[in-house]
Amino acid sequence: MFRFGVFIVIIFFTSKIVATPDSKIDPQLLAGEDEDFNIPRENYQLNSTVPLVKCPAGTFRGSLEYTRGGRRYFSFQSIPYAEPPRRFEPTTLKAPLKDIYDATTQPPVCPQIPDDSPEYVGQEDCLYLSVSKPDESHCREELSNGKLLPVMFWIHPGSYLNNNGSFFRGTYLLDECIVLVTFEYRVGALGFLTTGDNVIPGNLGMKDQLIALRWTRRNIRYFLGDPNLVTIAGTSAGGTSVSHHICSPASSGLFARAISMSGAVLVPWAITEKPLEIAKNLARKLNCLDLSSEGIKSCLLSKSARDIVNTQLSASEFTLRYTPVIEPKNAPNPFQNAIPYHLLKTGQINKVPYLIGFVQDEGIFLAEPFLQRYAGAMDKFHENRETEREDDSNSSVGPDKSPGSTLQESFQFR
Ligand SMILES: *[C@@H]1O[C@H](CO)[C@@H](O)[C@H](O)[C@H]1NC(C)=O
Ligand SMILES: *[C@@H]1O[C@H](CO)[C@@H](O)[C@H](O)[C@H]1NC(C)=O
Ligand SMILES: *[C@@H]1O[C@H](CO)[C@@H](O)[C@H](O)[C@H]1NC(C)=O
C-alpha cells in the first residue's frame, strides 16, 4: 500500500502541470485571506547552514536531517498554526510569534487512544504543524529563475479518531525536491462531536485543517514552497478529508491538486448523518442529565478530555461516528452545509487535478468480526498476512518496514 502511495506521488510531483482552481465561490468565504505573496525573494534568507526561517508567522529554528537517500533537509516541528482551541469551539490562525521559536521538538498529539496502545494520550492544545524543507543546494535546477517547489500538505489517517501528523516525516519524500507539511487536527468527539445546531458546531477538525491550509498558503514560500502549488493528500480519513476539501467552498483557492488514497467523500463513513444522537449517547454515558444542546455542551465542558476520549466509542456501535457532518444552513462560517454528492453531480466543486486510489482487499478488516465466528478462519487470515509481509520485505523498492505497512497492520488488527 505504501509503495503504491509513493509511486503515484512521485509521478505526480514530477509532472509540472500548474493548475489554478476554478473558483466560482463567494469571495465572502475567503475573507481574511490577506496573503502577502509579493514579498521579493531577497527578503527571505536562504541559508543552507543555519535552519532558520523567518516568515509572517514568526522566526523558526529547525534541525538538520537526512533522507533515506542521504540528502540534507531541514525539519521544523511543532509550529503552532492556530490559537490553542477552546473545547467545542472553532479557533483562529495563530497570531505571529515574536521571539525566535524552537521548532525542534516532537509535536504533541491531539487527545486520543492510539491504535497500538489502550492508553489515553495527548493534550487539547494540539494544533501544531511541521514543515520539511530541502536543502536548496539539492534543488538548484528546481529553484532556478525564482521558481519555488511543489508542496505536499499531508492529512493523516486514523478514522478521525486517532493517529498523528508524524505518520510521515521527510525521510522518504524529501528525496524529491518538494516541501512537506504535516499537522495535527482535533479528532474523536473533541474534533467532530456536534449537537447538529450551532451550539457545538460540526466539523471542528475540518476547520482546523482549513486553518493549517491557510497557514501553509501564507507562509510556505519562506520554506521554498510554492503557495500556488499545494497538493493536499491523505490516506483513509486523510483521503476522505481531501475529498471533503474538494467539495467545500471554504477550501476554495487553498490548494491546486489533490490525492486521496483509500478514502473519499462517497464512502459510507465520510459523513455522519445523525450526529445529535451520538452526542446525546455520549452525554448519557458521562452521566449528563440535561440532554438539550446547551445541556450537553455545559456538561461535556465539565468533563476531562481523558474521560471524553475514554468514553467516546461506547456512544455508538460503529467506530466511525465522529466524522464530518453537513452543517445547518444558518451555521456561521460552515465548512460544509450542502450535500457533497449533489455538489459532485452538479460540478460545484473545487476543480483541480485529482488522483484517487485504493488497494486490493483493503477493507478486509471489516470482515474480522465475521471471520472470528469460525474456528481457524482468523488463524488462516493472519497466516496470509505474514506471507504477504515477507513478500513485502523482500522487495528492492522502499523500506523494509514502512510506516504504511505498520499502519495497515494496526488498522487491520486493532
Ligand atoms: C549563514 O549563516 C551563517 C551563520 O549565521 C553565516 O555565517 C553565513 O554567512 C550565512 N550564509 C549566507 C549565505 O547567508
Ligand atoms: C504518532 O503516529 C505514529 C504512526 O503514525 C506512531 O508511531 C507514534 O507513536 C504516534 N505518536 C504518539 C505520541 O502517539
Ligand atoms: C526474495 O528474493 C530472492 C531473490 O530475488 C528470491 O530468490 C526469493 O524467492 C524471494 N523470496 C520471497 C519470499 O519472495
Residue with CA nearest ligand 2 atom 7: 167
Per-residue CA distances from 406 to 100, 160, 273, 401, 409 (Å)? 36, 18, 31, 7, 5
Residue with CA nearest ligand 1 atom 12: 47
Residue 390, ligand 3, Cβ within 6 A = yes
Least confident stretch, 40-44, 120-124, 267-271, 359-363: 40-44
Residue 109, ligand 2, Cβ within 6 A = yes
Q: For the chain, how long is the longest CA-to-CA vector?
A: 68
Report CA(45)–ligand 1 centroid distance (Å).
9
For CA atoms 351, 353, 359, 362, the dihedral sign is negative
- Give me the pLDDT at residue 388, please: 55
Q: How confident is the model at residue 375 (pLDDT cuts 50, 70, 90)?
A: low
pLDDT at 401 over 50: no
Residue 48, ligand 1, Cβ within 6 A = no
- Give me the pLDDT at residue 332, please: 95
Locate cell 487527545: which residue?
Answer: 111
Residue 49, ligand 1, Cβ within 6 A = yes
- Give me the pLDDT at residue 320, please: 79
Write out pLDDT tens, residues 20-30.
Answer: 343 333 333 33
Write out pLDDT tens, residues 196-249.
Answer: 999 999 999 999 999 999 999 999 999 999 999 999 999 999 999 999 999 999
Residue 396, ligand 3, Cβ within 6 A = no
Q: With a threshold of 0.85, does the pTM exceed it?
A: no
Least confident stretch, 189-193, 239-243, 330-334, 407-411: 407-411
CA distance 397 to 393: 9
Which is more confident, 376 or 114? 114
- Give me the pLDDT at residue 385, please: 64
pLDDT at 38 over 90: no
- Which residue blocks in 95-181 are alpha helix, DSSP H? 170-173
- Give me the pLDDT at residue 42, please: 41
Residue 50, ligand 1, Cβ within 6 A = yes
Least confident stretch, 10-14, 87-91, 103-107, 138-142: 10-14
Atom of ligand 3 nearest to the CA of 387: 13
Which is more confident, 378 or 188? 188
Q: Average the pLDDT over 377-382 and give the result.
A: 71
Q: How confident is the model at residue 1 (pLDDT cuts 50, 70, 90)?
A: very low
Which of 389, 392, 393, 394 should be mutated for ligand 3, with most atoms under 8 A from CB?
A: 394
Q: How confident is the model at residue 4 (pLDDT cuts 50, 70, 90)?
A: very low
Report CA(67)–ligand 3 centroid distance (Å).
27
pLDDT at 373 over 80: no
CA distance 176 to 10: 8
